[in-house]
Amino acid sequence: MADNAYDKLKHSIRYWLLRKLPTCQQTVEKISQSMERRLTLRERIDLKLHLWICAWCQWYLEHLQIIRDTARAKGAEPPDLNSASASALSSEARERIKRKLAGES
Amino acid sequence: MSEAQAQSPLKSPDCAAWLDEHGDYLYKYAIFRLRDETAAEDVVQETFLAALKAYEKFEGRGSERTWLVGIMKHKITDHFRRVAREAPIGEGEGEGPEHNELFEQSGQWTGHWNADHAPTDWHATPAELIERTDFWRVFTDCLSPLPQRTASVFTLREVDGLKSDEICEILNISANNLWVMLHRARLHLRNCLEINWFKRPER
């Protein structure tokens, strides 16, 4: 019984907070901005509370972090020359650059 | 290169061999960041030309390839600067899709995630993803519908790790503008990756 009452209370608080706080659509924009600037105190509190009750926005934040970490790791490593999907310099472009270099040297 | 040049006392590199050795590497580096074949070819050409002029300064210190990539980074930045100058912001292109459909548009949960589009657990780490060549194909495809400038802002920030104010300076945009573009790019890319990579059963 006690558990049940506790769950009900938790649910009510969560519901009340979700109605009071900025929406998910507003929150994801703040999540993105938090990666670019220091949020104001009010923004930080709203964001923390929203993330506390919203698993979807928690995933969103985690995904942006995964995208950033993966893209930066990729940017720091040498291009994969063996991958078939990535294109190579076309033979026309290669010839054009060769002629240009020969002309300049 | 002419015969006379090849025998010149000034040690200049064998251009053909040079291009064969580093051409594809530099092109791949450029195409990943510019997503435009013509622009990438131009940047490769400018890099080799600049390298040829500065070859005496290089003097074989360190790796030739690292040196070339260093030059290319500047050439890519120059390219973005030039594009920003030639087509100032606000002419014909927006910052990118707003993706309002991802959120409830009416009812008591207006503005909250629509359950069909809400983020899910990706069960992935950067270390695994970086190894997957096909992931990068999806990643590149997902960036392609974005306006060129928005995709460029995203790449400069998230691939090359430039600071926000450096990007604002290169592209001649305000901080506010940068935040909007990054937000639109992330919202779009995250959703696109989830649909086309993380939710694909066979990946």
Chunked into runs of 10 residues, chain B (203 residues) has average pLDDT values of: 44 78 92 92 93 78 85 94 79 79 93 95 93 91 93 95 95 94 97 93 64
pLDDT reported for residue B123: 93
Distance, CA of A80 to CA of A62 (rounded, Å): 27
Whether B125 sits inside 8 A of A28 (CB atoms) is: no
Whether B103 sits inside 8 A of A56 (CB atoms) is: no
Kindly give, in sequence order, each residue whose CB lies less than 8 Å from that of residue A52, ignoring residues fewer than 6 positions away. none
pLDDT reported for residue A95: 87
pLDDT reported for residue B104: 95
Q: Which residues share a beta bridge with B103?
A: B113
Chain B nearest C-alpha distance from A68 (Å): 5
Place of tokens 């997902």: B142
Whether A60 sits inside 8 A of B119 (CB atoms) is: yes
Place of tokens 């309002």: B100
ipTM: 0.87
